[in-house]
Amino acid sequence: MAQRLIVVGGDAAGMAAASQARRRRDRADLEIVVFERGHFTSYSACGIPYWISGLVPEPDALVVREPETFRTSYHMDVRMRHEVTAIDVERREVVARDLTGGGEVRERFDELVYAAGAVPVRPEWARDDIGGVFGMQTLDDGAALRDWLEGDPRPRHAVVVGGGYIGVEMAEALIVRGLTVTLIEQADQPMSTVDPDMAELVVDAMTGIGIQTRAGLRVTGLEERDGRVHTVVTAEGPVPADVVVLGLGVRPNTALAEAAGLPLGPTGAIRVDRRMRVPGLPGFWAAGDCVETLHRVSGLPVHIPLGTHANKQGRVAGINIGGGYATFTGVIGTAVTKVCELEVGRTGLRERDATAAGFEFVSVIAESTSRAGYYPGARPMTVKLIAERPSGRLLGAQIVGWSEAAKRIDTLAVALWNGMTVDEMSALDLGYAPPYAPVWDPVLIAARKAVDAVAASG
Amino acid sequence: MAQRLIVVGGDAAGMAAASQARRRRDRADLEIVVFERGHFTSYSACGIPYWISGLVPEPDALVVREPETFRTSYHMDVRMRHEVTAIDVERREVVARDLTGGGEVRERFDELVYAAGAVPVRPEWARDDIGGVFGMQTLDDGAALRDWLEGDPRPRHAVVVGGGYIGVEMAEALIVRGLTVTLIEQADQPMSTVDPDMAELVVDAMTGIGIQTRAGLRVTGLEERDGRVHTVVTAEGPVPADVVVLGLGVRPNTALAEAAGLPLGPTGAIRVDRRMRVPGLPGFWAAGDCVETLHRVSGLPVHIPLGTHANKQGRVAGINIGGGYATFTGVIGTAVTKVCELEVGRTGLRERDATAAGFEFVSVIAESTSRAGYYPGARPMTVKLIAERPSGRLLGAQIVGWSEAAKRIDTLAVALWNGMTVDEMSALDLGYAPPYAPVWDPVLIAARKAVDAVAASG
């Protein structure tokens, strides 16, 4: 008799796991049942801001694969709009509810992949009964916001609460749509994904495209009129708003896992080993935005919900379920984004992370250009390196620039992944031609400067 | 009494060496005399094609530092238009001729940096007495070509002989100027800096912008009319040409070094150790396009004349002359270029190099896109990886693509530099956001494909 794999959550991690398991085990050997409470499988949540802005015209473009594809080509029993409500570890069964009103089912499993993702942080003041307040995590969220933006009366004043990647990208999307946008950030600065000195460059760019940023400001409530949001109330007074987008980050969706006794780690996300197994529960796997993973630089567990990790982790789980051998060996916190034309990349530890992890370090900032200075289109590029002292080992890097900047972080990410010192990095053989780099690449200039700073630090 | 450093050749390597030596030793401790036979110090030869095309309007833009800057700010005795004609190793003197007619001088030295660069390969048929035939290595070469192109009668038909970087870049520059351009390559294909399958993509792009490429064709002579070139004679008949540009590569400029007894390596370039010392001759240093260096992947000596290496090597020599410690630990053959909007990057070994070095290997080609498929401006990107079998160690990589492709080679270059296997590479934490990459970066897709190919190869 075939074994049975149940996948809880049919997005990136879940579907990657299911697909890899299927690739190695046919349906006579392994039945695969996927429960997904939403309307979509395998879509690009990261693309939602570009759909809101209109840059991506149709949400269909964000869907990587339709449920039907998984059913027919991968022979999976994909049940959309089904929410798993309980996992019975002892009896190896899940209980799932048909959200379209079809009642409840119990299904047994031999292997279970928990890939329930993350849920947006929603503060108490963001009451569900006030229209015009949107979390931004699923395509359904995006569709609801689009409808609201195109509704009558047409919203004109947006407030984005939270200045992380989603907040900043949504602020830009709303500017593109012609709304006034105020971004409210509780911390001292938006874009705290990079150090304050680098974030400053991003905030300048945001201001340049008309986003009003208000940092160090706490939202305390909303005021409504006829069930529609009308004002965001803050410690410094009211901010008019007929649409509010929440960009306060996400937390791992672990309620179901906790109830079933899956172990959580210090970040609040599910603990897994490097094969994506849940420790102590044979046949249980977890992957994606609901798990924590090792930060290879700090050595600490981190919760970094990101599609690229979710895909890799799901793939690792699926290969192992399929009888292969694969491991997920951790992350280094690489991320890229853009604000208008300004590109931002980061990898490794920020200064505050390095301090928290107990490192002694030096930081340098090197100004350079994306191309040879004389080549048309050369634009400023700022590279920041954080290096341990006295070893010179790279701990983290950030790049902000106006063209060809963001993906240059990959060069630094691979150096970091390999534990290179800034001295070793300064010798790297990187591509040089006038349209692509000065003869000393910005990365090399920064590495040389860091070598000097490490030496000067004693 | 101050010691005395003589630098033979005042371009990238020579001036980097002189500057670093000065940074560490003041003029009371070290006199520095630089002999440069040309009109310029420290200029970007790589920028010449873009000056020819008009993209860079003035040659001054290509000059990094004027001789006067070195004299006043660095206290160097920089003698332009002075050609060193002999090096007397026993007496530690050089003989230099003033090319402007000022006679000959002898100067003693304690330390000598030989940085005489490279000279363009000029076949016998490219006689000096025929007007309209240009090598392309110095700003003077560029100026002569610009004058010819703007002269009367105005040239209309260009032939570029040689399909390496300079040949291809010059062909594009001449197309931009409105000439008809035929590029003649003796080998089976132009752009042999990448493997034939990848070069094909580049040749297609060249054809697309109107460059006629003729491969496997040997030039046998030129025909002139009134002292001006009129026809390029080939094995397959005449090709009309009123301007001919030679892009046949360069060879190390070693005549003077050989006469003085400096040792040459198997590539015909000067041998140096990792501190850029000439073995067996204390106080003799060499750097830049005249030296050979270690290829870190093949373990073989190579001659790769490139500004970025010249700068690094000169810097290393200068630090050591200054009493510091620095090493140049070799290259991996990274290079980037563009043909119209097509970007080309390479690093490490091509298939033929891997075979020559005795490796067993697999190759994979992965097609992907520069951005998430749904994001506007996503363009095709082709990544080729060459991996040793059965170890899976990366040996080389090539990228061809229409946007944000060339500098992605740096990601692979750093992986190669660190000896990563394709399996390790497939786990890399690279930047992901829809404007910059699909959720599986092209580099990761290629790495995964290579993992499979290595496994399948037994």
pLDDT tens for residues B289-331?
Answer: 999 999 999 999 999 999 999 999 999 999 999 999 999 999 9
Q: Pick the catalytic residue from B3, B24, B39, B46.
A: B46
Residues of B in contact with A409 (CB under 8 A): 431
Task: Select from B307, B328, B407 the Cβ nearest to the Cβ of A436.
Answer: B407
CB-based contact B336 A431, cutoff 8 Å: yes
CATH class (in words) of the domain with range A122-248: alpha beta
Spatial CA neighbour of B409 closest among B376, B380, B382, B377:
B382
Q: Which of A55, A328, A331 sits opposite B376 (nearest CB)?
A: A55
For the packed helices A67-74 and A12-24, what is the interaxial angle rounded to 10 degrees? 10
Q: Predicted confidence band at A64 (pLDDT cuts at 50, 70, 90)? A: confident
- Mean pLDDT for chain B overall: 96
Distance, in Å, from the CA atom of A216 to the CA atom of A198, rounded to the nearest integer, reads 17
Overall average pLDDT of the A301-322 stretch = 97
Q: What are phi and psi of A35, to 5 degrees?
A: -110, 125
Rounded to the nearest angstrom, the minimum Cα separation between B55 and chain A is 7
Mention the CATH class of domain A344-456.
alpha beta
Whether A185 contacts A159, CB under 8 Å: no
Q: Closest partner residue to A409 among B46, B427, B431, by Cβ?
A: B431
Q: Do B407 and A404 touch (CB under 8 A)?
A: yes
Contacts of B430 in chain A (CB under 8 A): 308, 334, 410, 413-414
Upstream peptide bond of A153 is cis (omega within 30 degrees of 0) = yes
Residues from chain B that touch A62, judged by Cβ atoms under 8 A, are 374
Active site residue A46: yes
- Yes or no, beta carbons of A407 and B431 under 8 Å apart: yes
Residue A43: predicted pLDDT: 82
User: Is there a contact between A401 and A382 (Cβ–Cβ < 8 Å)?
Assistant: yes
DSSP state of A154: P
Q: How far is CA B431 from CA A42, A133, A333, A453, B444, in A?
A: 20, 30, 9, 27, 11
Contacts of A328 in chain B (CB under 8 A): 427
Give the CA angle between residues B367, A25, B451 to the nearest 5°: 35
**Contacts by B437-440 with C-beta closer than 8 Å and gap 24+?**
B437/A336, B437/A407, B437/B370, B437/B371, B437/B372, B438/B368, B438/B369, B438/B371, B438/B372, B438/B373, B439/A12, B439/A44, B439/A46, B439/A307, B439/A308, B439/A311, B439/B372, B440/A308, B440/A311, B440/B368
| Structure token pair of residue A176 | 């593109």
Report the pLDDT value the prediction gives residue B43, as an integer from 0 to 100. Answer: 82
Closest CA–CA distance from residue A108 to any residue of chain B (Å): 33
Closest partner residue to A61 (CB to CB) among B337, B374, B443 is B374
Look at residue A42 and tell me whether its pLDDT is greater than 80: no
Q: How many CA atoms lie within 13 A of B233 on its CB side?
A: 7
The alpha carbon of residue A253 is apart from the nearest alpha carbon of chain B, in Å, by 22
What is the sign of the dihedral through the CA atoms of B80, B85, B89 and B92? negative
- Let me know: does B385 contact B446? Beta carbons within 8 Å: yes
A336–B417 CB contact, under 8 Å: no
Mean pLDDT for A263-269 is: 98
Contact list, A311 vs chain B (CB under 8 Å)? 439-440
Burial annotation B61-85 (CB, 10 A radius, 16+ → b, else e):
bbbbeebebbeeebebbbbbebbbe
Secondary structure (3-state) at B26: coil
- Choose the mutation target among A414, A416, A436, A449 for the interface with B, i.e. most B CBs under 10 Å: A414
Instruction: Examine the pLDDT at B44 and tell me if it is beyond 90.
Output: no
CA dist., res. A13 & res. A287, Å (int): 6
Segment A368-427, tens digit of pLDDT = 999 999 999 999 999 999 999 999 999 999 999 999 999 999 999 999 999 999 999 999
Residues of chain A with CATH 3.30.390.30: 344-456
Please compute the mean of the pLDDT values over residues A43-70 and round it to a whole number.
Answer: 90
Query: What's the CATH number of domain B3-41+54-119+251-321, 3.40.30.10, 3.65.10.10, 3.30.70.260, 3.50.50.60?
Result: 3.50.50.60
Closest-CA residue of B relative to A49 is B434
Residues of A in contact with B306 (CB under 8 A): 432
| pLDDT score for B42 | 78
Among partner residues B311, B331, B372, which is closest to A440 by beta-carbon distance?
A: B311
CB contacts of A55 in chain B (<8 Å) are: 375-376
Please answer whether residues B395 and B359 qualify as being in contact, where contact means their C-beta atoms are separated by less than 8 angstroms. Answer: yes
Nearest Cα residue in chain B from A398: B431
Q: What is the number of alpha carbons within 13 Å of residue A271 lying toward its C-beta?
A: 11
Nearest to B437 among A165, A312, A407 (CB): A407
Token pair for B58:
């003035």
Q: Could you tell me which chain A residue has the CA closest to the CA of B166?
A: A433
Q: Which of A4, A23, A46, A146 is catalytic?
A: A46
Choose among A311, A336, A427: nearest Cβ to B436. Answer: A336
Distance from the Cα of B375 to chain A's closest Cα (Å) equals 6
* CA distance linking residue B115 with residue B108, whole number of Å: 17
Q: Do B434 and A50 touch (CB under 8 A)?
A: yes
On whether the CB atoms of residues B282 and B109 are closer than 8 A, the answer is no
Q: What is the rounded distance in angstroms from the CA atom of residue B113 to the CA atom of residue B336?
A: 29
In angstroms, the CA B319 to CA A71 distance is 65
Does domain B335-453 sit in CATH 3.50.50.60?
yes
Residue among B62, B165, B345 whose CB faces A374 most closely: B62
Q: Which two tokens stand for residue A414?
A: 């691979």
Closest approach of B16 to chain A, Cα-based (Å):
12
- Closest CA in chain B for residue A411: B411
* Residue of A407, A445, A448 to mutate when probing chain B, most B C-beta within 10 A: A407
pLDDT band at A293 (very low <50, low <70, confident <90, very high): very high
At B65 the pLDDT is 85
- Which pLDDT tens digit goes with each residue over B187-220? 999 999 999 999 999 999 999 999 999 999 999 9
- For residue A413, list chain B residues with Cβ-Cβ distance below 8 A: 411, 428-431
List helix spans (H) across A209-324.
Answer: 255-260, 307-321
Q: Verify whether the Cβ–Cβ distance B375 to A428 is below 8 Å.
A: no
Between chains, do B433 and A347 touch, taking CB under 8 Å as contact? no
Q: Which chain A residue shows the shortest CA-CA distance from B418?
A: A418
Tokens in use for A81? Answer: 């709009």
What percent of chain A has pLDDT above 70?
100
Task: Give yes or no for residue A6 having a pLDDT over 80.
Answer: yes
Tell me if A428 and B413 make a contact (CB, 8 A cut-off): yes
SS3 of residue A232 by DSSP:
strand
Give the CATH number of domain A3-119+251-321.
3.50.50.60
- Which residue of A lies nearest to B12 if distances are taken between CA atoms? A439
Q: How many Cα atoms occupy the beta-carbon half-sphere of B426 within 13 Å?
A: 23
DSSP single-letter state for residue B280: T
Q: List A342's β-bridge partners, or say none.
A: A339
**CA quadruple A79, A82, A87, A90: dihedral positive or negative?**
negative
Distance from CA of B2 to the nearest CA of A (A): 27
> CATH 3.50.50.60 residue ranges in chain B?
3-41+54-119+251-321, 122-248, 335-453
Facing B372 at nearest CB: one of A47, A347, A375: A47
Nearest-CA distance A328 → chain B (Å): 7
What pLDDT is attached to residue A185? 97
Taking residues A130-134, what's their average pLDDT? 95
Q: Where in chain A is the domain with CATH 3.50.50.60?
A: 3-119+251-321, 122-248
The Cα of B188 is separated from the nearest Cα of chain A by a number of Å equal to 25
Residue B143 has phi, psi (to 5 degrees) of: -60, -40
Tens of pLDDT, residues B102-138: 899 999 999 999 999 999 899 999 988 899 999 988 8
Residue A223, min C-alpha distance to chain B (Å):
35
pLDDT for the residue A330: 98
CB contact under 8 A, B374 and A307: no
Q: Please count the CA atoms within 13 angstroms of the CA of B134 that sit on its side-chain side.
A: 31
Q: How many CB pairs under 8 A join A and B?
A: 199
The token pair at B31 is: 């006199």
- Kindly report whether the peptide bond that precedes residue A376 is cis, defined as omega within 30 degrees of 0: no
- Closest A-chain CA to B437: A407
Span B350-370, pLDDT tens digits: 999 999 999 999 999 999 999
Q: What is the arithmetic mean of pLDDT over A349-359?
A: 97
CA dihedral sign of residues B329, B330, B332, B333: positive
**Is residue B91 left, alpha or beta, with left meaning phi > 0 and alpha meaning psi from -120 to 50?**
alpha
Kindly report the average pLDDT of chain A as a whole number: 96
Residue A450 is predicted with a pLDDT of: 98
